[in-house]
Amino acid sequence: MKIFISSDIEGTAGIVDWQQVIGPGPEYEMGRRLLTAEVNAAIDGATQAGADSFVVNDSHWTMQNLKPDELHHDASYLSGRHKPLYMMEGLDGTFDAVFMARILH
């Protein structure tokens, strides 16, 4: 089962202040760690449910928020800008499910 994950930092558990959302700074680094851990938890849960392939599209701000060296080893990571489909860049008909990690404003 192949999963597409679009990650945004707003709405991540533990994010409570704007300084955790926009860097640079130690609060933003904490936000990055929280976001990466939450995405990894989603991947772990989906793996237990039978998923075995993951693409994570970083959709917040500069789109370079997740910590690649801490991201789940089974995930491919789409980072950086120049994404015509923005939060859904990389999604195609080969995926079985989409996870949206964000809060709607």
Instruction: Give the residues lining the site for Zn ion (CB under 5 A).
Output: 8, 10, 60
Which residue, 32 or 60, is less far from Zn ion as judged by CB?
A: 60
Least Å distance, CB 11 to Zn ion, is 8
- Cα atoms in the 13 Å half-sphere on the side-chain side of 101: 26
Least Å distance, CB 65 to Zn ion, is 8
Least Å distance, CB 72 to Zn ion, is 21
Nearest to 43 by CA among 83, 74, 85, 82: 74
